[in-house]
């Protein structure tokens, strides 16, 4: 990723703002010019999938008011969003091979009439391991330059700051017994009693304070996920899950969160990551998910199918869902097919949109 001095200055301002106050429409309004100048773009938006209220909606945008209204009305046809959900990664209009296909022209042309644009990037917004929406950036005009791979990486960096701020605004951290602070090497600086006990059970009593150094499957898996979280700018690397293969089959789940002040862009000497231990029952009562009990009754889904839906909301692949449930990938595919048939969704993106309504 290449950043000019001007862009570095804009990002420092943005990070300082996001770590000094809660994220709301006023904060996004203040941050919007810095984001657009960093990206040499004109339009910025945050769209959240609403699981407690009908439909998905744009919570903030500097687009013209008439554009927001039209987009909310035709969001179901947004093929860029559908590609982002199905591929679990950042996507742009021009990187979609069929972007100019006849089936997609209606969506593009309708928005072009209100606000002409050349290209746009969508980055997944992740909260507690679940896809809750996306951050979007666009350039005005039909003949402005398309976004480059370097632009992708820059906007992913900005989105990491934004998603972290959103997470801190949506929910406070658990108590100190369930949290630990790690340095940039993955070493435990301090840890609460509950998370310390869990680490000793997973990594062993001798190396639990340096979990990534242990030459064990758990140690290697932790180190790989931790480094991915630090350097990949990928929201899907924010969780570490481990399940014992011994008799008790105990499962542990942790989430990584950036500590305010993290990163060289802030020129802060203290670089730490917060690791949060989540008890199994917390995963079952995640408030960012829709009411799965009502969904189950409405579509007559089995308990096994609901478990697959939970994995889909967490952004897991079929293989990862299979590992978390202790079943094969083919079993997950079969259950997914049954879900799509009962809900008439047909795809992951369509399922997410359908269940959010």
Query: Would you state the pLDDT for residue 270?
Result: 41
Q: Is residue 51 part of a domain?
A: yes
Please give the C-alpha separations between residue 111 and each of 10, 68, 85, 193, 275, in angstroms, as whole numbers: 29, 10, 21, 53, 42
Q: How many domains does the chain divide into?
A: 3
Give the closest residue to 112 by CA, choosing from 54, 65, 70: 70
Q: Is residue 59 part of a domain?
A: yes
Whether residue 186 is found in the same domain as residue 311: no
Pick from 282, 308, 331: which residue ends a domain?
Answer: 282
Residue-number span of the structural domain to which 207 is assigned: 176-282
C-alpha span between 305 and 33 (Å, rounded): 44
3-state helix/strand/coil string of the chain: CCCCHHHHHHHHHHHHHHCCCCCCHHHHHHHHHHHHHHHCCCEEEEEEECCCCCCEEEEEECCCHHHHHHHHHHHHHCHHHHHHHHHCCCEEHHHCCCCCCHHHHHHHHHHHHHCCEEEEEEEEEEECCEEEEEEEEEEECCCCCCCCHHHHHHHHHHHHHHHHHHHHHHCCCCCHHHEEEEECCCCEEEECHHHHHHHHHHHCCCCCCCHHHCCCHHHHHHHHHHHHHHHCCCHHHCEEEEECCCCCCCEEEEEEEECCCCCHHHCCCCCEEEEEEECHHHHHCCCCCCCHHHHHHHHCCCHHHHHHHHHHHCCCCHHHHHHHHCCCHHHHHHHHHHHHHHHCCCCHHHHHHHHHC
Whether residue 166 is found in the same domain as residue 201: no
Query: Would you state the pLDDT for residue 295?
Result: 80
Whether residue 107 is found in the same domain as residue 209: no
User: In this model, does residue 236 exceed pLDDT 50?
Assistant: no
Whether residue 138 is found in the same domain as residue 185: no
- CATH number of the domain enclosing 198: 3.30.450
User: In this model, does residue 309 exceed pLDDT 90?
Assistant: no
In percent, the amount of the chain with pLDDT more than 70 equals: 78
Q: Are 101 and 128 in contact (CB under 8 A)?
A: no
Whether residue 113 is found in the same domain as residue 127: yes
Query: Where is pLDDT greater, at 231 or 147?
Result: 147
User: In this model, does residue 50 exceed pLDDT 80?
Assistant: no
Pick from 148, 170, 192: which residue ends a domain?
Answer: 170
Residues 6+ apart with CB under 8 A from 212: 185, 186, 219, 220, 222, 223, 226
The model scores a pTM over 0.75: no
Whether residue 213 is found in the same domain as residue 269: yes
In the block, which residue shows the tokens 């097919």?
Answer: 337
Tokens describing residue 93: 């209009």
pLDDT band at 100 (very low <50, low <70, confident <90, very high): confident
Query: Would you state the pLDDT for residue 212?
Result: 82
Query: Would you state the pLDDT for residue 135?
Result: 93
Query: Would you state the pLDDT for residue 156?
Result: 92
Whether residue 44 is found in the same domain as residue 150: yes
Least confident piece of the model among 79-83, 115-119, 249-253, 303-307: 249-253
């Amino acid at each position: 990723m290449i950043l000019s001095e001007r862009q570095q200055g804009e990002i420092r301002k943005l990070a300082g703002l996001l770590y000094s106050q809660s994220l709301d429409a006023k904060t996004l309004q203040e941050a919007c010019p810095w984001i657009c100048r960093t990206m040499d773009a004109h339009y910025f938006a945050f769209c959240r999938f609403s699981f407690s209220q009908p439909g998905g909606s744009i919570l903030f945008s500097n687009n013209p008011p008439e554009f927001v209204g039209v987009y909310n009305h035709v969001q179901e046809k947004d093929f860029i969003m559908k590609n982002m959900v199905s591929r679990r990664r950042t996507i742009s209009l021009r990187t979609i091979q069929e972007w100019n296909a006849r089936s997609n022209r209606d969506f593009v042309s309708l928005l072009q009439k209100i606000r002409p644009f050349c290209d746009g990037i969508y980055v997944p917004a992740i909260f507690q391991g679940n896809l809750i929406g996306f951050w979007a950036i666009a350039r005005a005009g039909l003949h402005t330059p398309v976004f480059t791979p370097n632009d992708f990486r820059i906007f992913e960096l900005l989105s990491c700051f934004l998603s972290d701020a959103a997470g801190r605004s949506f929910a406070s951290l658990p108590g100190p017994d369930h949290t630990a602070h790690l340095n940039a090497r993955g070493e435990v600086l301090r840890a609460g009693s509950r998370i310390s006990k869990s680490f000793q059970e997973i990594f062993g009593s001798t190396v639990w304070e340096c979990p990534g150094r242990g030459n064990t499957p758990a140690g290697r898996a932790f180190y790989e996920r931790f480094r991915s979280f630090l350097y990949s700018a990928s929201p899907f690397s924010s969780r570490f899950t481990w399940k014992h293969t011994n008799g008790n089959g105990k499962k542990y789940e942790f989430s990584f969160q950036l500590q305010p002040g993290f990163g060289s862009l802030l020129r802060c000497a203290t670089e730490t990551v917060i690791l949060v231990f989540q008890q199994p029952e917390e995963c079952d009562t995640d408030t960012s998910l829709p009411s799965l009990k009502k969904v189950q009754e409405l579509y007559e889904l089995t308990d096994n199918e609901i478990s697959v839906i939970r994995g889909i909301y967490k952004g897991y692949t079929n293989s990862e869902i299979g590992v978390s449930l202790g079943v094969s990938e083919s079993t997950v595919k079969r259950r997914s097919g049954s879900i799509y048939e009962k809900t008439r969704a047909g795809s992951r993106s369509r399922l997410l949109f359908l269940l959010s309504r």
